[in-house]
Structure 1
Amino acid sequence: MSHQLRRYLSKHYGHVVDRRTALKIPLYLAAGAALTRLPLASAAAPRWSADRANAWYAKQGWLLGANYVTSNAVNQIEMFQAGTYDPHRIAGELSVAKRIGMNTMRVFLHDQLWATDQAGFSSRLSQFVTIAASHNIKPLFVLFDSCWDPRPNAGRQRPPIKGVHNSGWVQGPGAQRLQDPAYTRVLQSYVTGVVGQFANDPRVLGWDVWNEPDNPAKDYSEVESTDKQELVAAFLPHVFQWVRAARPVQPLTSGVWQGHWRDPGGRSEIASVQLEHSDIISFHSYGDPSEFEARIDELTGLGRPIICTEYLARNLGSTVEGILPVAKRRNVGAYNWGFVAGKTQTYLPWDSWQQPYTELPQRWFSDLIHPDGRAHDDDEIRFIQKLAGVARPA
């Protein structure tokens, strides 16, 4: 039985139980018990040394990109499933990213894509990597995510809620499937299958194992958010091991995002797992430049390369002009949230969750370009091009 699961059971039941007992208590604990029956893959590669991670990073150049969802997709499932996957749109949008000077994109995947159409998903993902490579863009793939709707399903996705930021996004796998012992093997198959497909492919930059795993996103099942976090804490070390079992040539990471990771003594269990298992360190920051640089200072002592996998909230002081010069000076890779405006509606502020917007704000919250390739702010794009060292397009 995993250390994390023992702690969870002890906390909630007052004693340490064995696997047989765990299977008799609530179903989401049975899912944890299922983890104990899956091997941690003794053949898995070890975590990269700091020297190896820094040597790898030195070869990449300054990493500059965005979190990318096609403009016609409301979430990561719609982006990649049959019927809505759009390679021509992807080629056009990534050609704009190349002209801007970007060399990488952070791209979310989903276990339901694998569970419902393994062969088709693998084929589409291979095509996506080929398209990205044709524009000299390396994807950083995100495998799991604890944000937004906890009940994801493949098939037709519901339309976005008018005037609401990222209203159609879905968690992966979501609390409901984390409770299902039978689905645990699907999750392992998804991780090892997708990572294994590109384990030796230099066109892929790396693996972001789990986005914001300790995010307390509202849950619509009987599992409370605190219980979901405990279950994620039990899963997370196994997911790192599953990725390493494929022995990828790319590094692993999982971005810390809240202040509780700063103090080693007060760090959450999930944040500790993220930092202790990551080859390269990643973080999120939607604060102003001074806060952004303060977070870099706090992570520098770990002795590993650092990338910021989410920034850009113009209304909050997180701007392209403010953040990117700091990132380049500190040799920190940077991915702004949102590349092309579309069905995610992340050009709307977070407060639209409480009060939907009836009009498009003149100054977008996130995102850089319109679906037709026009810039939201021409000066902003020219600023990126200058830092990236690319010629301005005609």
Structure 2
Amino acid sequence: MSCLWLLGCVALLSICCSFLVSASTQETRWTAERANQWYAQQPWLVGSNFLPSNAVNELEMWQADTFDPAEIDRELGWAEQLGMNTMRVFLHNLPWEQDAKGFQKRIDQFLAISAKHHIRPVFVLFDSCWDPNPKLGPQRPPIPGVHNSGWVQAPGKAGLMDAAQYPKLQAYVQGVVGAFAHDDRILAWDVWNEPDNNNDSSYGKLEPANKRDLVLALLPQVFAWARAAQPIQPLTSGVWTGDWSSIDKMSPMARVQIQESDVITFHNYGWPEEFAARVEQLQQFHRPIICTEYMARGAGSTFDTILPLAKKENVGAINWGLVKGRSQTYLPWDSWQHPYINETPPVWFHDVFYEDGTPYRAREAQIIREATGKQQPSTGQE
């Protein structure tokens, strides 16, 4: 009996020690003070959402057969000439599941190219936008005349609806964040892009009826998985719709995004008055604020109006789109209803450069350089 009692005590002590070790190493959300100290060490953040012009989506960007370091180097060089210092870049779970070591090597190669151009990316882990059925291998070509017609979600419908696949998603998050958790070439981790986007104007009929509920249950876990890797970079997920006037008036998804994020990020494609109002709403949380999507010329969001506002409020500004290409995001959103096959939109919706590096508007390039303090290059495309 005494031996059994002793063994029981040893087992209990072992469990307690294990719990204490786990509790002592568990990461929690950054305090506002830590987040603001981090932000004070950064330059004013200006950049684009980046997809090389020869990729139709994030899979085509990252898969081994189509990963193109030379094109990435060329296009990030144009961004550097504008004084941009960050890029928001979407990853995907499927290349990691296929070949984690190979994907990690390509990410490292991308970071080396980015560092060469003094750019520190924000990496996006999951995404609820556009095609819910991602597949590895050759990607279908863009639909003529349609905005972002080849972009795919991560993890996509199948991975989201099957809880048995969640351990693979956890392995991806902890694997990729863990591999680069102490890499100061990375600015931040955006754990989920527009998690409650149901794609009503594009793929809405293909979405699970309970998609928002599934993502709402998974999103806090994704934050926890990423934090378990103890990254030196902050975590975030950008709010993009609804009432942000108080935490109580936010949707359940937005509330999770705000309460789990180390730094606050948001999307806004509206007029400058709307942008300013959104910033004011988010200032109540007393954390750094970065706009990770803006600039839709046809909707009223432009460089000449938004950049001065963002700089005045010390808000980071990451526009959608760098180079016109296979994503076709220079076309407006309504191209899903009315494809621009035999016509050209009156003004580009997104994107900054033509495929040869010529700015869509020379004055815009000048505005960006003036805002970032970058001198006009003495040689180059302009």
| TM more than 0.5 | yes
Match of 1:49 in 2: 31
Q: Which amino acid aligns with 1:315?
A: G
Alignment of 1:214-253 (within 5 A): 214-217=196-199, 218-219=203-204, 221=206, 223-224=208-209, 227-253=210-236
Do residues 189 (structure 1) and 171 (structure 2) align?
A: yes
User: Counterpart in 2 of 1:260?
Assistant: 243
Q: Please point out which of 332, 344, 363 is paired with 1:379.
A: 363
- Counterpart in the other structure of 1:109: 91
1:323 corresponds to: 306
Equivalent of 1:159, from 134, 141, 144?
141
Instruction: Return the alpha-carbon distance in structure 2 between the equivalents of residues 141 and 114 of structure 1.
Output: 14
RMSD over equivalenced CA pairs, Å:
1.2
Q: Is the 8 A contact 1:150 1:219 kept in 2?
A: no
* Partner residue, 2:272: 289
Partner residue, 2:258: 275
Note closer, same or farther for the CA distance 1:134–1:191 as it changes in structure 2 (3 Å cut).
Answer: same
Letter of the 2:250 counterpart: R
Which of these residues, 168, 176, 194, is aligned with residue 150 of structure 2?
168
List aligned pairs for 1:1-394, cutoff 5 A: 43-217=25-199, 218-219=203-204, 221=206, 223-224=208-209, 227-358=210-341, 359-394=343-378
Q: What whole-Å deviation, never above 9, does each CA across 1:104-159 have from its counterpart, x for those lacking one?
A: 00000000111112111111011000110011100000000000111111111111
Q: Which runs of 5+ in 2 are unaligned?
A: 1-21
User: What is the SS of the residue equivalent to 1:92?
Assistant: helix
Deviations 1:94-113 (A, max 9, x none): 01110111000000000011
Q: Secondary structure at the match of 2:249?
A: coil
1:221 Cα deviation (Å)? 5.0
TM-fit CA distance, 1:316: 1.1
TM-score by length of 2: 0.90
Question: Which AA in structure 1 matches 2:361?
Answer: D
Q: Tell me if the contact between 2:44 and 2:311 (Cα under 8 Å) persists in the aligned partners.
A: yes
| Equivalent AA in structure 2 for residue 311 of structure 1 | Y
Q: Distance in 2 between matches of 1:310 and 1:100?
A: 18
Letter in 2 for 1:366: H
Q: Is contact 1:111–1:187 with CA below 8 Å preserved after alignment? A: yes
Work out the number of aligned pairs and report it. 352
Where 1:260 maps in the other structure, the secondary structure is coil
What letter matches 1:305 in structure 2? P
Which has the higher Rg, Structure 1 or Structure 2? 2
Contact persistence 2:85–2:118 (CA under 8 A): yes
Instruction: Find the aligned partners of 1:193 and 1:134 in 2 and give their Cα distance.
Output: 25
TM-superposition CA deviations, 1:24-72 (whole Å, max 9, x none) = xxxxxxxxxxxxxxxxx85431100001100100110100000000000
Change (3 A) 1:293 1:222: closer
3-state SS in 2 of match to 1:214: coil
Corresponding residue number in structure 1 for 2:16: none
1:253-312 per-position Cα deviation (integer Å, ceiling 9, x unaligned): 100000234342232111111000000000000001110000000000100000000001
Q: Where do 5+ consecutive residues of structure 1 fail to align?
A: 1-40
Q: Which amino acid letter does the alignment assign opposite residue 81 of structure 2? A: R
Q: 2:188, 2:64 → 1: CA distance?
A: 25
Tell me the SS of whatever aligns to 1:85.
coil
Task: Give the secondary-structure state (helix, strand or coil) at the position aligned to 1:312.
Answer: coil
Residue 5 of structure 1 corresponds to which residue in structure 2?
A: none
Q: CA separation of 1:112/1:219 partners in 2, compared to 1, >3 Å: closer, same or farther?
A: farther
SS in 2 for 1:287: coil
Match of 2:13 in 1: none
Structure 2: distance between partners of 1:83 and 1:370: 24
Q: Which moved more, 1:214-223 or 1:381-390?
A: 214-223
1:181 deviates by 2.6
What TM-score, normalized by structure 1, do the two folds share? 0.87
